[in-house]
Amino acid sequence: MPGIGIILNPHSSANRRHPERVRRLAFIVGDKGSCHTTQDVLDIEAIAKEFKERAIDILGISGGDGTIHHTISTFLAVYAARPLPSVALLRGGTMNNVANDIGVRGTPESILSNLILKYHGGAGFQTTSVHCLTVNGRHGFLFGNGLVARFIEEYIRRGEGGGLKAAWLLARGMTSCLLNSRWACELARRFDAKVTVDGTTWPFRNYVVIEAGTVQSFGLGFKPFYFARKEPGRFHVAGFSMTPRKVILHQLPIWIGRKARSENYLEASACDVTIELAEPMPYMIDGEILPPTDSLRIACGPALTMIVQ
């Protein structure tokens, strides 16, 4: 059997707390595959070429959503027309939104042990199909600019802290928005944009945030993309333009995966979205901040087979 290939990002927050993890995962894999650590995103291409040549059956990824984003983007480029192997998300990062969304639970060690046991025994896997987002040629599952990108930038600027720090920053941000503080007004600063969804231009001309996803979860309990995964080949896109205080007042339905009933909120199930910005802005894919651009094309990318258990 071609085996299992594992990519582990030792720099993800959970893996940094467990530096011995790469040794444990390599021991679990044994002679059924290989386990590679990456010191830089540039390492992924060489690993992808090796795994393609070996025609592995399963690609295991240990790291957060950012690791998944870089790995999937590189593997799709290297594999080109050849389908990717089944993907097993082993968790291991601050943000595990994709794994959470499809129901993958446990530690990287326990997930991989179960994977090896089933693979070695020839048992079938429970799988699900998840489309990628393709954003300006890169692949991921979650996109956001404006408020979302600024929040992530603020989180990164404040250094280590994991989920607790993110929750604290969210609570502080929500309180600041209710008070219309200067910091909240900066986070929720509006920007001018023309958004076209499947050929129809949205009526708004400025926004606080534009976001999209092929999975429902956006982290910290938010599930704004309830259209995601309901129709093959489509994703959920949303945009709103509100004062900071109104942003908070409309968060509850978004938090629980319901429509925010406001004339200042737009959303759609989409195949193709273009965003033309009045000035270049950074944007986020799966928790990673990408350089500023004034033009974005978001499309529904290829469907990946994900192993649930």
Interval 198-225: pLDDT, tens: 999 999 999 999 999 999 887 767 788 9
Q: 105-109, 145-149, 206-210, 222-226: which range is least confident on average?
A: 222-226
pLDDT at 290 over 90: yes
Is 233 or 176 the better-scoring residue by pLDDT? 233
Whole-number Å distance between alpha carbons of 24 and 27:
5
CA atoms within 13 A on the CB side of 283: 27
Domain boundaries in the chain? 4-125, 140-301
Q: Return the closest-CA partner of residue 141 out of 57, 37, 51, 229.
A: 229
Query: Would you say residue 1 has pLDDT above 60?
Result: no
Class level of CATH domain 4-125 = alpha beta
Length of the chain equals 309
Q: Report residue 43 CA to chain centroid gap.
A: 20
Q: How far apart are CA 27 and CA 35, in angstroms?
A: 9
Higher pLDDT residue, 250 or 192? 192
- In CATH, what class is 140-301? mainly beta
* 28/132: higher pLDDT: 132
The pLDDT of 175-185, averaged and rounded, is 80
Q: What is the pLDDT of residue 9?
A: 76
- Give yes or no for residue 180 having a pLDDT over 60: yes
pLDDT at res. 295:
98
- Structure confidence at residue 154 (pLDDT): 86
Backbone angles phi, psi at 256, to 5 degrees: -100, 10
Band the pLDDT of 97: cuts 50, 70, 90.
confident
End-to-end CA distance of the chain: 20
**What is the greatest pairwise CA distance in the chain?**
60
Residue 15, pLDDT score: 59
Residue type, 213: G
Q: What is the band of 182 on the pLDDT scale with cuts at 50, 70, 90?
A: confident
The lowest-confidence range among 76-90, 140-154, 212-226 is 212-226
**pLDDT higher than 80, residue 94:** no
CA distance 267 to 250: 14
257-284 tens-digit pLDDT:
677 778 888 999 999 999 999 999 999 9
3-48, pLDDT tens digit by residue?
Answer: 888 888 766 666 566 666 667 776 676 654 577 777 777 789 999 9
Q: Residue 178: its pLDDT value, please?
A: 76
pLDDT at 93 over 70: yes
Instruction: For the full predicted model, state whether its pTM sits above 0.85.
Output: yes
Tokens of 79: 């594999």
